[in-house]
Structure 1
């Protein structure tokens, strides 16, 4: 019969093998791509702005350009927050969404563009609200 030390070693080896296998199948969902003062910009934010650009313009900037834009937006947002600039009203956001919707030839084209860009109505609403706030 194996000694308790060997049992411990075998148990540790099995645990390591199991955990290593599960780590290999894990996927990175989000990560920090930049730090600005005490804040961070996430990869998901870069992707979200890229999808919004794709939806509006049929193309998006490179990830580096989008990151630069997000850093600029962070600066503007920080200044707007510090000066207590008013947030856009729901009516302002609705008008902004209407302008976006009216830039498409039809509702079907609008919906197809959102689907192709991977945007939902709440995603689009959040982007429009952000753009209105940033001026």
Structure 2
């Protein structure tokens, strides 16, 4: 799914800068390499947080099995203690995943707002508290 999204973005920006080339060759080559630099930067940025998510995922599994052992030792107390840690690491997963998409959204918004051609940029947020869309 993520590879498909990256491919769509790559195709979209390629067509956009190819159109820009018809207007000005210098503009095309400048923004073409500018985009590829930031594309690989965010590609690395995404996988960094993707790894960070799996780090917390296995950290959560560690606490899950750890307190699952004590679940039989003291049923009532450790049952709620386990659920506290579950939601704690679940929150951190969405925090870092949301931060990536919000940062990427700001980049697309600042970049497209300086162009003269009307474009439409969409970005999917993992949270529902900030669903703004960029405008030209």
Does TM, normalized by the shorter one, top 0.5?
no
- Structure showing greater relative contact order (alpha-carbon pairs closer than 8 Å, 6 or more residues apart): 1
Q: Which has the higher helix share?
A: 2
TM-score, length-normalised on structure 1?
A: 0.29
Q: Which has the higher strand share?
A: 1
Structure with bigger gyration radius = 1
